[in-house]
Amino acid sequence: MSFLASSSLGPFASAYPLSPTVLRHTLSEQPLLSFEALAKAALELPSQYVERRVSNAPNGGEFAMDQSDDADVATVIRSISTSGNWIMLRFVEQLPAYRDLLNGLMDQIGPAIFPSTGPGLTVRGFIFISSPGTLTPFHFDCEYNILFQIAGDKQFATYHSGQPWLPLDRHEAYYSGSDNMLPWKDAYEADANIHHLRPGDALFVPYASPHWVKAGAEPSISLSITWQSEWSQSVGAAMQINPLLRRYGLPAGDLPAWPRTPRWRSLGCRVARKVGLL
């Protein structure tokens, strides 16, 4: 079954992997992605893969977990129109029905990405259920992502994956275990490339492209499928080894522009991991 409009795949393949691109899809009627199905899925997932955060965090602020009461997550999802929350179901491929859905999506995405970055590696699925007006604060993700808007609408603001929006030290720190939130300046508001997503729209987000997301006036559901490539994995290795290289007075480097691969740093990182330096 085809979930992505075939007319979207050509422009996506041309823009991939550097430019955000809007695609069209038919997943909005998919029964696995209704509020009720997701309330049940949230109970089936191991609890460490379900996050409940506040809906009113500001850009540059903490995207805090909501521990204001001990309501179970299914109840929160069923009352998402008023609960003031952002719920994330992480690694939904753990549930067989969702794994099948993601595999079906990757079957269609794969031929579009293969010529540029090879096969999609480490494919993961995330589902976001948001109260009206939820802001997901400014952050970056170290993977390629297509976000499918299923219910409600969203403003999705993307930025180029470089300075000043993505400071090198934040990128490096992520690979040493820090979170993926980014410092914010009000001047960044004007730099945003804002995509208005409605049900039936999907957005490709390049590797490490900083972004913030604001849900509209209705409760929102979005599905993200993410993947890695050999290039993104080698960049991750370079970011991880950079601080070690500096410590030994060796040259570290910035985020290499695709398709340049940081071959030596990537190799060095693998060796450093093996001998326990990382």
What residue ranges bind Fe ion (CB under 5 A)? Answer: 141
Between 44 and 141, CB nearer to Fe ion? 141
**At its nearest, how many Å lie between Fe ion and the CB of residue 55?**
15
**At its nearest, how many Å lie between Fe ion and the CB of residue 212?**
9
Yes or no: say if 215 and 178 are a contact pair by the CB < 8 Å rule.
Answer: no
Phi, psi of 209 (to 5 degrees): -75, 115
- Determine the Cα–Cα distance for residues 27 and 25; give it in Å rounded to an integer: 6
**At its nearest, how many Å lie between Fe ion and the CB of residue 180?**
8
Between 155 and 261, CB nearer to Fe ion? 155
H and E: helices and strands count for the chain: 8, 11
Between 93 and 141, CB nearer to Fe ion? 141
Burial (CB < 10 A; 0-12, 13-18, 19+), residue 68, is exposed
Beta strand pairing call for 121-130 and 85-90: antiparallel
Non-local CB neighbours of 52 within 8 Å, separated by 6+ positions? 65, 66, 73, 76, 85, 86, 87
Between 16 and 140, CB nearer to Fe ion? 140
Residue of minimal Cβ distance to Fe ion: 141
**At its nearest, how many Å lie between Fe ion and the CB of residue 34?**
23
**At its nearest, how many Å lie between Fe ion and the CB of residue 139?**
6
Beta bridge partners of 25: 4
Between 141 and 153, CB nearer to Fe ion? 141
Non-local CB neighbours of 130 within 8 Å, separated by 6+ positions? 55, 80, 85, 86, 87, 136, 152, 154, 215, 219, 220, 221, 222
CB-CB neighbours of 12 under 10 Å: 19
The identity of residue 114, as a single letter, is F
Between 216 and 253, CB nearer to Fe ion? 216
H/E element holding 127?
strand 121-130
**At its nearest, how many Å lie between Fe ion and the CB of residue 224?**
8
CB-CB neighbours of 125 under 10 Å: 22
**At its nearest, how many Å lie between Fe ion and the CB of residue 72?**
25
Between 126 and 241, CB nearer to Fe ion? 126
